[in-house]
Amino acid sequence: MTPLQPVRGTRDLIGEELRRHRHVIDTARGIAELWGFEEWATPILEDTRVFTRSLGETSDVVTKEMYTFEDRGGDLVTLRPENTAGICRALVSNGLTQSLPQKVFYAGPMFRYERPQKGRYRQFSQIGIETLGAAEPLADAEAIACGQAILEALGAAKDTVLEVNTLGDRESRDAYRAALVAFLTPHAERLSAESRARLARNPLRVLDSKDEADRAIVADAPDIFAHLTEGARAHWQALLAWLDVFGVPYRVNPRIVRGLDYYSHTAFEFVTEALGAQGTVMAGGRYDGLVEEMGGPHTPSVGWAAGVERLAMLAPPPPPPVAPVAVVPVGEAVEAGAVRVLLSLRRAGIRAEIAFRGTLKRRLERANRVGARAAVILGEAEVGRGVAQVKDLASGDQAEVPIADLAERLGRR
Instruction: Give the model's pLDDT for residue 404.
Output: 93
Closest CA to 208 of 226, 189, 190, 221: 221
In-domain check, residue 103: yes
Q: How many CA atoms lie within 13 A of 183 on its CB side?
A: 19
The top-scoring range by mean pLDDT among 235-239, 292-296, 363-367 is 235-239
Instruction: Give the model's pLDDT for residue 364.
Output: 85
Instruction: Give the model's pLDDT for residue 412.
Output: 61
Instruction: Give the model's pLDDT for residue 16.
Output: 93
d(CA 351, CA 410): 10
Question: Which range, of 61-65, 270-274, 331-335, 361-365, averages the lowest pLDDT?
Answer: 61-65
Q: Are 206 and 218 in contact (CB under 8 A)?
A: yes
**DSSP assigned state of 28:** H
Are 269 and 141 contained in the same domain? Answer: yes
Q: How many domains does the chain have?
A: 2
**Would the pLDDT of 158 be above 70?**
yes
Domain carrying residue 85: 16-169+229-314
Please give the residue that has the higher pLDDT: either 150 or 56.
150
In-domain check, residue 281: yes
Question: Which range, of 129-138, 178-187, 371-380, averages the lowest pLDDT?
Answer: 178-187
Please give the residue that has the higher pLDDT: either 413 or 186.
186
Are 408 and 264 contained in the same domain? Answer: no
What kind and span of H or E run contains 402?
Answer: strand 398-402
**Would the pLDDT of 378 be above 60?**
yes
- What CATH number should be reported for the domain holding residue 329? 3.40.50.800
Instruction: Give the model's pLDDT for residue 385.
Output: 93
Instruction: Give the model's pLDDT for residue 103.
Output: 98
Q: Give the tens place of pLDDT for each residue, 207-223.
A: 877 888 888 888 888 88
Instruction: Give the model's pLDDT for residue 60.
Output: 63
d(CA 14, CA 35): 31
Are 66 and 158 contained in the same domain? Answer: yes
Are 32 and 77 contained in the same domain? Answer: yes
Q: Is 108 left (phi over 0), alpha (psi -120 to 50) or beta?
A: left
User: Which of 250, 281, 314 is the last residue before a domain boundary?
Assistant: 314
Q: What percent of the chain has pLDDT over 70?
A: 96
Instruction: Give the model's pLDDT for residue 261.
Output: 66
In-domain check, residue 55: yes
Are 241 and 389 contained in the same domain? Answer: no
In-domain check, residue 10: no
Burial 283-304 (b: 16+ CB within 10 A, else e): bbbbbbbbbebbebeebbbbbb
Q: How many CA atoms lie within 13 A of 22 on its CB side?
A: 11
**Would the pLDDT of 377 be above 90?**
yes
Are 141 and 94 contained in the same domain? Answer: yes
Q: Give the tens place of pLDDT for each residue, 71-128.
A: 999 999 999 999 999 999 999 999 999 999 999 999 999 999 987 776 678 999 999 9
- Within 8 A by CB and 6+ apart from 314, the residues are 154, 156, 159, 160, 272, 274, 275, 281
What confidence tier does 52 reach under pLDDT thresholds 50, 70, 90?
Answer: confident
Q: What percent of the chain has pLDDT over 90?
A: 66
Are 84 and 55 contained in the same domain? Answer: yes
Instruction: Give the model's pLDDT for residue 45.
Output: 97
Task: Give the global pTM.
Answer: 0.89
In-domain check, residue 181: no
User: Which of 268, 288, 314 is the last residue before a domain boundary?
Assistant: 314
Instruction: Give the model's pLDDT for residue 96.
Output: 97
- What CATH number should be reported for the domain holding residue 77? 3.30.930.10
Q: What is the chain's mean pLDDT, rounded?
A: 91
Instruction: Give the model's pLDDT for residue 195.
Output: 84
**Would the pLDDT of 413 be above 60?**
no
Are 147 and 44 contained in the same domain? Answer: yes
Are 157 and 241 contained in the same domain? Answer: yes
In-domain check, residue 142: yes
Q: Give the tens place of pLDDT for each residue, 34-46.
A: 999 999 999 999 9
Are 136 and 274 contained in the same domain? Answer: yes
Are 375 and 243 contained in the same domain? Answer: no
What confidence tier does 203 reach under pLDDT thresholds 50, 70, 90?
Answer: confident
Closest CA to 50 of 6, 3, 93: 93
Are 294 and 333 contained in the same domain? Answer: no
Instruction: Give the model's pLDDT for residue 215.
Output: 86
Instruction: Give the model's pLDDT for residue 278.
Output: 57
In-domain check, residue 395: yes
**Would the pLDDT of 268 be above 90?**
yes
**Would the pLDDT of 252 be above 90?**
yes
Q: Are 318 and 135 in contact (CB under 8 A)?
A: no
Instruction: Give the model's pLDDT for residue 57.
Output: 58
In-domain check, residue 206: no
Angle at 104 (CA atoms; ends 100, 110), nearest 5 degrees: 135
**Would the pLDDT of 58 be above 60?**
no
User: Which of 263, 288, 314 is the last residue before a domain boundary?
Assistant: 314
